[in-house]
Amino acid sequence: MENQKSLAEYLKQLRKSHHYRQEDVAMQLQVSRQTYSHYETGRIRPSVQVLYHLARIYGVSTDNILEHMEMDSIDCQTENEHLQISIPEWEKDFDSLTEQEFLDCLHSLNEKNRRDTLSVMWEIMQAKRNKQEK
């Protein structure tokens, strides 16, 4: 896997091989062209949902796309960093939040915000898991 392309390079290769413009893919993903451009430059790492949709757009497996993520550096920004979540801040109140209150809050969100929230949670869980493994 040493010669394998980074996720950014791979996404660019897939797009070009399908003769799509960045605008075409961005429209299918319902993101701005600039955001999609950042995926291809490695400035932003796509969320899990976006990776799933990219796999469907390009007709490749999600495993194939995820293999290319291993090539990316761990300090690459994620799509959700713009939310500026301060983990210590929300952890203070989290213990007092009941599971039902959390679920009620989650279910009250529209579909996009619910997906974004779950994506952030997934990123936090992965970061904690990686930290525990080290």
User: What residue segments make up the domains of the chain, in order of their start?
Assistant: 7-77, 85-133
pLDDT recorded at residue 85: 41
For residue 7, give every residue at least 6 positions away whose Cβ sits within 8 Å of its Cβ, in sequence order, or none.
Answer: 39, 42, 45, 46, 65, 68, 69, 71, 72
The pLDDT tens digits along the chain (134 residues) read 445 788 899 999 999 999 999 999 999 999 999 999 999 998 888 888 888 899 999 999 888 888 877 544 433 444 444 444 444 444 555 556 666 676 777 777 788 877 877 887 787 777 777 777 76
Between vectors from CA 116 to CA 111 and to CA 120, what angle results, nearest 5°? Answer: 150
Which helix (H) or strand (E) covers residue 101, if one does? helix 99-108
Is 7-77 assigned to CATH 1.10.287.990?
A: no
Residue 97's pLDDT is: 62
Instruction: Report pLDDT for 86.
Output: 43
* Start-to-end CA span in the chain (Å): 22
In the structure encoding, which two tokens stand for residue 101, read together?
Answer: 């209150």
How far apart (Å, rounded) are the C-alpha atoms in residues 16 and 21? 8
